Amino acid sequence: MFGQILIFLCTTSVVHCVDHCWLCNNAADIATCRKTTTTCNAGEECFLENFINSLAQTRYNAGCRTQALCRVMEVVSHGKRSADPCGQCCTGPGCQEHLCGSPSVAETNYRCLDCASVSSSGSCTQRITCQDTEVCSNSVSADGAFLRYSFGCEQKHICAEFAAHGRRSAITICSSCCVGDECNKADCFQLAQNMTREMFGR
């Protein structure tokens, strides 16, 4: 029975949904999974799983799964050795970075929104590829009676300090960092709430 459940989890197709979760199927490495992201529907969570195929190769699936299936995955994975195939779920920006022994974020150059002081969070259409020491960033500042939104890349060690101590000034009301391609599309306050030092390799 255990084997049947594990086979089912490793072969189920990724649900197409619209969250900032990685999306891949039968990928040879984590870097491939990071290249495409999606947003889960209500009642779904991000997931990442690895498994060994018939050629003794490690493969990865990632995307969105129902909360009910995620609970089954938790039961199947409980008590397994770190070297065994793994299936885990999570919620929150960049959360898949910490599942199933995923390689360090330092191995990836992320593509992020890149705009300075635009009038709305949805008006940024430019993109930039960060250095390998950077992740995506997002900030909101006050300009008189108006809010201004900025997006770009930030050094990981600075993001780790944001996560530990926050950053506010007379005009900056939110500063956040996140891990994943274009993850800074998300709301700054939500991203800031989910930040941890560990997300940035500290």
pTM for the predicted model, two decimal places:
0.49
Task: Find the mean pLDDT for residues 41-58.
Answer: 88
pLDDT of residue 9: 35
Average pLDDT, the chain: 80
> Who has greater pLDDT, 115 or 161?
115
- pLDDT confidence of residue 1: 36
As assigned by CATH, the class of the 107-200 domain is mainly beta
Structure confidence by residue, pLDDT tens digits, 2-36: 333 333 333 333 333 345 788 999 988 887 888 78
E-state strands within 91-192: 111-113, 115-118, 127-129, 134-143, 146-155, 172-178
Residue-wise pLDDT for 187-200, tens only, equals 999 898 888 888 88
CATH code for the part of the protein at 2-103:
2.10.60
Q: Work out the number of other CB atoms within 10 angstroms of the CB of residue 84.
A: 12
pLDDT tens per residue across span 170-189: 688 999 999 888 899 999 99
Domain ranges, ordered by start, for the chain: 2-103, 107-200
- pLDDT at position 110 is 86
- Note the pLDDT of residue 108: 65
Residues 66-99 pLDDT 10s: 999 999 888 876 655 545 678 899 988 778 888 8
Cβ atoms of 129 and 181 closer than 8 Å: no
**Residue 184 in contact with residue 138, Cβ under 8 Å?**
yes
Q: Taking residues 130-149, report their average pLDDT.
A: 90
Cβ partners under 8 Å of residue 176, min gap 6 = 137, 138, 139, 162, 184, 188, 189, 191, 192, 195
Is 166 or 78 the better-scoring residue by pLDDT? 166
Rounded CA-CA distance 11/99 in Å is 18
CA distances from residue 137 to 42, 108, 180, 190, 197 in whole angstroms, order as listed: 26, 15, 11, 12, 14
Q: Do domains 2-103 and 107-200 have the same CATH topology?
A: yes
Round to whole Å and give the CA distance between 54 and 7: 12
pLDDT at residue 60 tops 60:
yes
**Strands 24-27 and 58-66, how do they pair?**
antiparallel
Question: What percent of the chain stands above pLDDT 90?
Answer: 32
